Structure 1
Amino acid sequence: MKKAILLIAFVLGTFAVQAQELKWETDVNKAISVSNSTNKPLLLFFTGSDWCGWCIRLQKEVLKTPEFAKWAKDNVVLVELDFPRRTPQSDEIKTQNNGMQQAFGIQGFPTIYFATAKIKDGKPNFTGIGSTGYVSGGPAAWLAVADGILKAK
């Protein structure tokens, strides 16, 4: 019985560590560089992390799951573009995120936009692939939508 409990604890701990190992870039230019070197598109997550209920729900139900972690490592470069109300941010990040929100015409949160980009004359030049937001049904449903967007590129 003790061994079974230890095994279950180990397996659950492994999933939690795997989900936490995801690297979410906050610097768009750095993310573009990683995207270009790995030949993976950007997943731009526009969120209000500390106030948006649907953003928090998407994080909990999909973005912090082992299924998403495995998929993301294989398919995309993760970029978080956060618009918090209570969490402090540097002026540089605020300016960058506001510019990205305007560039992509983001009207509501959460929005996830898939894109590729190149740096041209010191500025990012994006090519959109598609977008989504919260999808009910957990990680499998959300990943099916994401895969459909990426396969259409």
Structure 2
Amino acid sequence: MKTLFSTILIIVFAIGIHAQSRFENAKKQASQNKELILLNFSGSDWCIPCIKLHKNIIETDEFKKLETENVVVYINADFPRNKKNQLSQELKKENVSLADQYNRKGLFPYTLLLDSEGKILKSWEGLPSESVLAFSKEIRDIKENQK
């Protein structure tokens, strides 16, 4: 009987952990570490400005410092079109939910800087015109003003 109860408890616990979304986890992490959340909506295999944004900003060492220095938690809500790039059903569902909440116009790329509760602090429609250094500095400045 104890074994059956333990097994059921483990299964319920595992489902509960798995059911937590990346966004909920990001909000918790941001709250604990006093970080901001950078949410990016992209079409990674069809949207040229999205591809440029990732190459010229998101994938750079300068941007990665924002993550390693506990400035931002980064989430990419991707909407690829090519069959070979399709996401899991769970991830698709989460991305649609994020789009329903934050990107009802369906803009790509669309980047939001959020506080740990999910409140929008800044948004960028399309490819940001500033350099990665200016983009990172703007995020750092916003974080400093949050204190």
Fold shared per TM-score above 0.5: yes
**Residue number among 103, 106, 131 corresponding to 1:105 in the alignment:** 103
**Residue number among 58, 61, 67 corresponding to 1:66 in the alignment:** 61
CA RMSD between the two structures: 2.1
Hey, what does 1:57 align to over in structure 2?
52
What's the CA shift for 1:148?
A: 4.8
Hey, what does 2:114 align to over in structure 1?
115
Aligned counterparts of 1:71 and 1:92: Cα–Cα separation in 2: 27
Hey, what does 1:141 align to over in structure 2?
134
Distance change in 2, residues 1:52/1:61 (3 Å): same
- Letter of the structure 2 residue corresponding to residue 129 of structure 1: L
- Letter of the structure 1 residue corresponding to residue 29 of structure 2: V
What's the CA shift for 1:83?
A: 0.8
Hey, what does 2:90 align to over in structure 1?
92
Identify unmatched segments of 5+ residues in structure 1.
Answer: 1-25, 119-125
What's the CA shift for 1:56?
A: 0.5
Aligned counterparts of 1:102 and 1:92: Cα–Cα separation in 2: 15
Aligned counterparts of 1:136 and 1:117: Cα–Cα separation in 2: 26
Over residues 20-65 of structure 1, what are the superposed CA-to-partner deviations in whole Å (9 max), with x where a residue is unaligned? xxxxxx7212222211221211111111111110010011111111
1:131 matched to 2:133? The reply is: no
Of structures 1 and 2, the larger Rg is shown by: 2
Aligned residue pairs, count: 121
Distance change in 2, residues 1:102/1:88 (3 Å): same
Over residues 86-122 of structure 1, what are the superposed CA-to-partner deviations in whole Å (9 max), with x where a residue is unaligned? 212122211111111111134311111111244xxxx
Task: Confirm or deny: 8 A CA contact 2:35 2:116 kept in the other structure.
Answer: no
- Letter of the structure 1 residue corresponding to residue 45 of structure 2: D
Task: Confirm or deny: 8 A CA contact 2:103 2:110 kept in the other structure.
Answer: no
What's the CA shift for 1:152?
A: 5.2
Helix, strand or coil at the partner of 1:59: helix
What's the CA shift for 1:136?
A: 2.9
Helix, strand or coil at the partner of 1:49: coil
Aligned counterparts of 1:47 and 1:150: Cα–Cα separation in 2: 24
Q: Runs of at least 4 residues of structure 1 off by over 4 A?
A: none
